[in-house]
Amino acid sequence: MAGSTDVAKVYERFISLVREVHWLNRISDLLSWDQQVMMPPKGVSARSEQYAVLSGLAHDRLAGNEMADLLAHLEAHSDELDEDQRVNVREVRRSHDRARKVPRELIQEIVTTEGLSQKHWLEAKQKDDFSIFAPWLEKMVALKRRVADAIGYEKTPYDPLLDEFEPHTTSEEVAGVLEGLKPALVELVRRIESSSIRPRREILERSFPIAKQEEFGAWIVRLMGFDFEAGRIDRSPHPFCSGANGDVRITTRYKEDYIPASLFGLMHETGHGLYDQGLDPKHEGTPRGFTVSLGVHESQSRLWENLVGRSMHFWRFAFPFLQAF
């Protein structure tokens, strides 16, 4: 009994640290949403300072000695934890071990560089001139290599970086999957190229007022089940989805003469958004209540974008509505 009470208290403190890390990261996500959707251009340097503060504090909590002690204690008494609690200990252990190897200053340099590079990326995109962004990309690659070196790897520096998005997965495994798909895909492209059938694409490039694209897009997103009381749609130079549970932000961009740009972007991000709105609020703020991996996330976004959005069945249903908008 005394042991259990002790473990319960340790777990409570552990979870309160874990939730602080979670909220600091969600705040960073919101700042990033704001930067891409709302922030005036001269806000960029202050924003980078803010990322540095948040990521530094999150790192202190996740990688610190207190977390190390809490994890060790909980692991030594894992038989007294329930399944959800063991998931949280296991996943925080993963992140903790990883974070401990990466210097706080390196993390801060990465997030401030990301923040500052955003506007150069945007300028490069607008002017269609990669040379504007190239030095920033080089800087980021160099920083990410330092992360890989700090964490360590057996075969390729990409492995420890991949692990951040797709836990327990290696470049070799991914290459195996892609190599397996290659023959059939190459054959498919060859058959398309040599076919005499040429689909008419004019319908995709028909002029469609942006205000109407926005209305139609929101209508589709609502039909897909997205809860607008727990999320919103905005515009950004490139579509993305961020947030979780009761506050999910999705974005898209509009081209008057190419509705697929906005619509499939929206359906893709709504796939992400539905996953995020569906997270179990009981476990909010802990790994047990958060995204599993980017692959699982993409399984939802691509399901909606490609298997639904680009299907004949969907368009047999949706096209008459699109015409009526």
Supply the residues annotated as catalytic: 269
Based on the shown chain and the rule CB under 8 A, indicate whether residue 26 belongs to the binding site for its own copies: yes
The single residue among 167, 237, 246, 260 that binds its own copies, judged by CB under 8 A, is: 246
Based on the shown chain and the rule CB under 8 A, indicate whether residue 50 belongs to the binding site for its own copies: yes
Stretch that binds its own copies, among 72-80, 178-186, 243-251, 313-321 (CB under 8 A): 243-251
Between vectors from CA 108 to CA 70 and to CA 172, what angle results, nearest 5°?
A: 75
- Site mask for its own copies (CB under 8 A), range 274-293, x = bound: ----------xx--------
In the complex, what is the shortest distance from the CB of residue 207 to its own copies, in angstroms, rounded to a whole number? 23
What distance in Å separates the CA atoms of residue 284 and residue 306, rounded to the nearest whole number?
Answer: 30
Based on the shown chain and the rule CB under 8 A, indicate whether residue 72 belongs to the binding site for its own copies: no
Structure tokens at 138: 């080089």
Based on the shown chain and the rule CB under 8 A, indicate whether residue 27 belongs to the binding site for its own copies: yes
Instruction: Give the CA diameter of the chain.
Output: 78
What distance in Å separates the CA atoms of residue 87 and residue 84, rounded to the nearest whole number?
Answer: 5
Based on the shown chain and the rule CB under 8 A, indicate whether residue 119 belongs to the binding site for its own copies: no
C-beta closer to its own copies: residue 230 or 308: 230
What distance in Å separates the CA atoms of residue 161 and residue 207, rounded to the nearest whole number?
Answer: 42
In the complex, what is the shortest distance from the CB of residue 14 to its own copies, in angstroms, rounded to a whole number? 16
Structure tokens at 118: 């955003």
The single residue among 49, 129, 172, 215 that binds its own copies, judged by CB under 8 A, is: 49
In the complex, what is the shortest distance from the CB of residue 293 to its own copies, in angstroms, rounded to a whole number? 22
C-beta closer to its own copies: residue 160 or 287: 287
Rounded CA Rg of the chain: 23
Instruction: Determine contact, residues 74/87, Cβ cutoff 8 Å.
Output: no
> What is the number of H-type helices and E-type strands within the chain?
12, 3
End-to-end CA distance of the chain: 66
Total site size for its own copies, rule CB under 8 A: 37
Place of tokens 């028909």: 206
What distance in Å separates the CA atoms of residue 209 and residue 297, rounded to the nearest whole number?
Answer: 31
Query: Which residue, among 119, 110, 236, has the nearest Cα to 164 in the 3D structure?
Result: 110
Based on the shown chain and the rule CB under 8 A, indicate whether residue 116 belongs to the binding site for its own copies: no
CA 18 to chain CA centroid, Å, is 19
C-beta closer to its own copies: residue 243 or 265: 243
Based on the shown chain and the rule CB under 8 A, indicate whether residue 321 belongs to the binding site for its own copies: no
What residues line the site for its own copies (CB under 8 A)? 19-20, 23-24, 26-27, 30-31, 34, 38-47, 49-50, 53-54, 57, 227-232, 243-247, 284-285
